Amino acid sequence: MAERRFIQIERKGPVGIVMLDRPEKLNSLTPSMLDELEAAAASLESDATLRAVVLTGAGERAFCVGADINEWAALAPLDMWRVWVARGHRIFDRWAALRLPVVAAINGPAFGGGLELAAVADVRVADPAATFALPEASIATCPGWSGTQRLVSLIGPSHVKSLALTGRRIDAQRAYAIGLIDEVSDSKQSLSAALAIAEKIATLAPVSVQLTKQLINAAAGFGTGATLEAMAGALSATTNDAQEGMASFRERRNANYEGH
């Protein structure tokens, strides 16, 4: 029997839909699910026919309530660092850096790592019943997947402190008011609302959309160096001098560059 997968990928035209599929555990994340999220990011990145991605959770009880406590509580301290925090950071950073715009459909509670996962999206739509929290201090740990970093860039240190230092939950309207989410959908319509946004994105010029995302991320301090180098490399590749450079290399002669 095939091993069950907890990250499902579907397509709706040019939009990919990625679903956390562990509703019986409120879509809480395990190490193997982190691996599946990384594989999903690689698959999405390599698909030239996709133009946007929707990220959501299965069922109606939660988007994602964060890390599965039973999984990480059994880890030794060094494994907590290497297997859990470092790997989660790397995978979440990869999602945040996807060339494709990501729209999160937050269909229920987004706590801890679930809120950190929602933060990797470019646009966030939440069900009116969704709630948000950073409860790590209540169980004697700390946000581990950029809750103290990416979320600060998103909503500012004061709002993050209000969440992380108290562990309190806020509702969708409060999340909207502080800029944590971009839209509150109709009841049980977060996925439909997110798909509408993704489908609108998919009608626009894909290269322009992807470059614009990179520029905005760079302005926020994410991947600035890589963005500058990628765009400089792409621009230089369009020049006649680039063609001359390749030709001279192949023909083993000195290049005749003309500056255009």
Are the C-beta atoms of residues 68 and 92 closer than 8 Å to each other? no
- Among this protein's residues, is 116 annotated catalytic? yes
Q: Which of 185, 207, 116, 189 is nearest to 153 (CA)?
A: 116
Q: Which residues pair with 132 in a beta bridge?
A: 110, 170
From the candidates 38, 116, 229, 251, which is the catalytic residue? 116
Residue of 85, 65, 66 lying closest to 77 (CA atoms):
85
For the chain, give the number of residues: 260
Token readout for 185 is 């959908």
Q: What are the CA-CA distances from residue 239 to residues 17, 101, 227, 228, 249 (Å)?
A: 38, 29, 19, 17, 16
Active site residue 251: no
Q: Which of 36, 38, 60, 136 does the annotation list as catalytic?
A: 136
Query: Whole-angstrom Cα distance, residue 155 to residue 85?
Result: 22
> By C-alpha distance, which of 233, 203, 222, 230 is closest to 51?
203
Distances (CA, A) of 149 to 9, 81, 92, 250: 28, 17, 12, 47
Specify whether the CB–CB gap between 218 and 228 falls below 8 A.
yes
Q: Among all residues, which ones are annotated catalytic? A: 116, 136
